[in-house]
Amino acid sequence: AGVPITTDMEFGLASNSKLFTAVAVMKLVDAGILNLNDPLHKWLPPFTNVDSMVTLRQLLNHTSGINDVFTTASQAYIEANPSHVFTTAEVMAYIGTKLFNRGTSYGYSNTNYILAGMIVESATGQSIAKIIRDSLLTPLQLDSTFYDHQETVLGAIAHPWHNGTDGFTISRTALNTLGTCAGSMYSTSGEMAQWYQALFSGQVVSANSLREITTFVSSGNYGFGVLSMQ
C-alpha cells in the first residue's frame, strides 16, 4: 500500500507462462527431438484419467479432453497449505475424468501444459525451467524473467492484492508447484513486450513452428500458448 508500481517490478505471468512452454516445445520440434503427433505414451508413463493416445499437439491447443488439475479441491488445499510442495504424483492425482474424447472438442486445461512440460523433461533429461532458461531467456537476454520455485527471484515482485488484501506474505510454493509450467513464471512488463516482439517477428522459432503456434482452434481461438482475440 502506498508504493507506486515501477517498470522494474515483476508480476506473476499466470497463463502467459504457457507460451514459454509451448515455444520450448517447438524449439525441440525444430531440432527434431519432438513431433507434434507424438502420443503421450511415447514419453510418459500412464496416469489415471489421462488418455495416453493424446498427442502433443492436442495438449498445446487444448483439444485433449484432459481435465484441469485446478479443481475446487486443489484450490481449497492451496489456500489451506500455501507452503506445500506438490509432487508429480500429487498433481496427477487431481486430474478428474475426461471432459471429452481427444480431438473432438476444445477445453482449456492447465493439465495440458503441465504434461507438455513433463514431455520436454522426458525428452531432454533436463528440467523445463532449465530448458526455458537456456533456449529462450538467456539468448533473448530476458534477465528479469524467471520460473518461480525452481529459480531464484531476480528482482522485486509486485505485491499481489485480492479483495483489498495484500497477499505478499503468503507463500507461492503450493500454487506454483501445482501449476508449474502452466502458470508459474514472473517477468517485468518491458521484458514481456521484448519477448512477444522477438517471437512474433520470427527471431525465436522456425517459420513453420510460428505458423503452428498461431494456428487457432476455432472453438476456443487458441493456438499454442496464445489466445486470439479476433
Tens digits of residue pLDDT in 98-129 = 999 999 999 999 999 999 999 999 999 999 99
Q: Which of 15, 105, 127, 171 is catalytic?
A: 15
Instruction: In whole angstroms, give the CA distance from residue 35 to residue 37.
Output: 5
Mean of per-residue pLDDT scores for the chain: 95
To the question of pTM greater than 0.85 for the whole model, the response is yes
Give the model's pLDDT for residue 108.
Answer: 95
pLDDT in tens, 143-166: 999 999 999 998 899 999 988 999
Instruction: Reply yes or no on whether 15 is catalytic.
Output: yes
Is 50:112 a contact under the CB 8 Å cutoff?
no
pLDDT reading at 36 higher than 90: yes
> Band of the pLDDT at 214, cuts 50, 70, 90?
very high
Instruction: Using pLDDT thresholds of 50, 70 and 90, give the confidence band for residue 72.
Output: confident
According to DSSP, residue 148 is labeled B
Angstrom distance (rounded) from CA 5 to CA 155: 13
Which pLDDT does position 207 carry in this prediction?
Answer: 98
pLDDT above 90 as % of the chain: 90
pLDDT band for 73, please (50, 70, 90 cuts). confident
